[in-house]
Structure 1
Amino acid sequence: MMISQMNQSQLLHWIDMVSFAVVEITEYLDTHPDDEEALKYFNHYADLRRTALRAYAQNYTPLTIDTANPDNYWRWASDPWPWEGGDC
């Protein structure tokens, strides 16, 4: 399913999955920094994560400061979080 076809709950779940992959491969790369296949895997999932976070920020609310509106960075902290009874 394409990100543009996901509802809020599905997109949040996708962000969780790709974030898990990024964290796990980062830990592997800490001990295997020369593994080029692992680095490709990391780059792929890091790109998927960035794309998903941007889509979530654009359609709902930013989950991280780096996806917040640069004209109003600090508003992101006052929007309701998904676990605070949002539309998820």
Structure 2
Amino acid sequence: MKQTSRGELLRKVQETGFACVDMNLYLDNHPEDKNAINVYNSLCSQFAQARCAYENVYGPLTNFGYVPSKYPWQWICQPWPWDREFNY
């Protein structure tokens, strides 16, 4: 089984997160579109799965509210996505 790279996992989080926001904006203007609601719900599920896949390997993406910390505290143990060493 091929290991998914950190960059690939993060890209999936970003792509599905963007798609969720995009569908949310569409639904603000088309709240009766059942198909769009189904797409939005599917994307939200994909986003949650992508976020969990990333966080299970590399730690939390946000500082509170989504993922409990393992011991020891993990919030600052890895480079941030915008740090140069993140990509190495």
Q: Please classify the TM superposition score into its range, dividing by the shorter chain length.
A: 0.7 to 0.9
Gaps of 5+ in 1: none
Q: Which residue of 2 aligns with 1:86?
A: 86
**Counterpart Cα distance in 1 of 2:82 and 2:16:** 19
After superposing the two structures, state which structure 1 stretch, 4-13 or 57-66, moved more: 4-13
Higher helix fraction (1 or 2)? 1
- Give a deviation string over 1:22-64, Cα, whole Å, max 9, x none: 0100000011111110000000011000011111111002112
Shift in Å, 1:16 = 1.1
Count of residues paired in the alignment: 83
Shift in Å, 1:70 = 5.2
Q: How do residues 9-48 of structure 1 correspond to structure 2 at under 5 angstroms?
A: 9-48=7-46
After superposing the two structures, state which structure 1 stretch, 29-38 or 57-66, moved more: 57-66
**Counterpart Cα distance in 2 of 1:66 and 1:58:** 15
Shift in Å, 1:15 = 1.1
Shift in Å, 1:6 = 1.9
The reply to whether residue 66 of structure 1 matches residue 65 of structure 2 is yes
Percent same amino acid at aligned positions?
33
CA contact (8 A) 1:29 1:38 kept: yes
| C-alpha RMSD of matched pairs (Å) | 2.2
